[in-house]
Amino acid sequence: MLQTVFEKQQPNATVVDHALRRTRLAPFWIEDVADTPTYPAATADAAYDLVVVGGGYTGLWSALLAKQRHPELSVALVEGETIGWAASGRNGGFVEASLTHGSENGRRRWPEEIDTLESLGLENLDAIEKTVHTLGLDCDFERNGAISVAIADYQAEEALGTPPSATTAVLDGPAMRAQVNSPTYLAGVWDKTSTALVHPAKLATELGRVCAEHGVDIHEHTKVLDLVRSRSSSRVGVRTARATLSADRVILATNAFPSLLKRYRLHTVPVYDYVLMTEPLSDAQLADVGWSARQGISDMSNQFHYYRLTRDNRILWGGYDAIYHFGRGLNHDLEDRPESHRRLARHFFTTFPQLEGLEFTHRWGGVIDTSTRFCSFFGSAAKGRIAYASGFTGLGVGASRFAANVMLDKVAGEKTALTELALVKDMPLPFPPEPLAAAGINATRWSLDRADHNEGRRNVFLKALDAVGLGFDS
């Protein structure tokens, strides 16, 4: 097997030790939000037109869009902890136009629909940008695009074979390093329009603010225990520890957490992703790196890193490891994984050796709601009065707004261009129960790592997954 650049060009262990010595286990983004509003828990029974379960992006967009469509509706949003505390407050802040986890994944699954899906994805990103400006969302929105960088010869060949366009720049090695200076870069493809960057926790906080301003009743620290379905009427609702909220319609936006609809509990698995945040770069350090266009960046490996600058010129550095814990493990203790954070630090200094001496201030982990098709899927229950979306597989910052529109159409009983999409109608295969789930997921991860060490060549196991529609292509 060939060595990757991260094995061939490893930094000295003392560089990594120094960089990690004062990290704090906490999501930087959440700590960086000043004056976070708080919302009361639900303590009394109440009735609404719509109840939304989940205070991340999917739930927040659902509540906001519902009020924008029909201001007269009474809407409640309930969250078990606080607004944006989970994936929505700790992701990389990449707002992608893609609804299908990349064009190749979408083209393989919905070849006749991919042009429509890509158009809808760009429209969705445009609408997010418009909302940021028209509602004054203070979320550090920057639409600078993203670069996929080649760090191996076979990746460079693929990158340089990409057709350039008015919105896509193909960069050879020198041109790539003129954009961002790393000795690991051999080529790159800069898509200038289909990615924006945000401060993820600010986006969640601001969506909560405008939801409240539009009349949504937000309840934090209100964990939903189960769904309520009336035998004597068409109403549905949710039961919490201290109150029952009845409604004409319910939207479920629990994503990585176990679905309140048992039929969908095997359709996602929680996979942990890990992140580091540096201290702010000095002017001299930033000059050594370049990065004046402030694009988002990811490398073209199966096990890829994603990284970007913050408003105060820190570097967020995450990805590579994607860890599944047996039994669909999901708890706070899993957010700290020293071996993953140390691996990330090594790879950081391989990429940017000129930043030796820079320290990381924060380390954290978060859970990704992974589906077997690697993008969101949609479900319903109670004769359409309950709608559900999940399975974003790491690309939910942008796609969550699209999902909200789909679910609002579904609970309204409307047949629309969105509800008629095969993307919306199709259901992914569920993951198997344990121990098969752990065996299959870990075998996939091992095989993807082998492919990264073998010029991208997929082994028999990955080819078999491809053949049944379970193949992963980042």
The CATH number for 217's domain is 3.50.50.60
Q: Give the pLDDT score at 449.
A: 86
- Let me know whether 364 and 283 are in one domain: yes
Please report how many Cα atoms fall inside a 13 Å half-sphere around the Cα of residue 351, on the Cβ side: 22
Q: Is 411 a domain residue?
A: yes
Read off the tokens for 448. 């993807």
Which pLDDT score is estimated for 230?
76
177 contact partners, CB below 8 Å, separation of at least 6? 183, 185, 290
**204 and 276 in a common domain:** no
Residue 402 covered by a domain? yes
Residue 402: the pLDDT is 98
d(CA 353, CA 304): 19
Q: What is the CATH number of the domain that holds 333?
A: 3.30.9.10
| Rounded CA separation 77/219 (Å) | 6
The domain in which residue 20 lies consists of 5-24+146-192+270-368
Same domain, 170 and 64: no
Q: What is the pLDDT of residue 141?
A: 98
Tell me, yes or no, whether 184 and 219 share the same domain. no
What is the number of structural domains in the chain? 2
What is the C-alpha separation between 372 and 472, in angstroms, rounded?
A: 8
430 is a domain residue: no
End-to-end distance of the chain based on CA atoms, in angstroms? 21
Residue type, 428: P
- Contact between 261 and 229 (Cβ < 8 Å): no
Tell me the mean pLDDT per 10 residues along the chain, length 474.
91 98 98 95 98 98 98 98 97 98 93 97 98 98 98 97 95 98 98 98 98 98 93 87 96 93 93 97 98 97 96 97 92 95 98 98 96 95 95 96 98 96 96 93 90 86 75 52
Distance, CA of 270 to CA of 441 (rounded, Å): 11
Co-location of 177 and 291 in the same domain: yes
In a domain, 447, yes or no: no
Whether 438 is in a domain gets the answer no
Tell me which of 398, 425, 452 is where a domain ends: 425
Domain boundary among 368, 397, 413: 368
Q: Are residues 121 and 230 in the same domain?
A: yes
Select from 180, 156, 182, 181 the least CA-distant residue to 170. Answer: 156
pLDDT of residue 243: 97
Q: What is the pLDDT of residue 472?
A: 55
Of the candidates 94, 43, 464, 470, the residue with the CA atom closest to the CA atom of residue 306: 94
Residues 124 and 225 occupy one common structural domain: yes
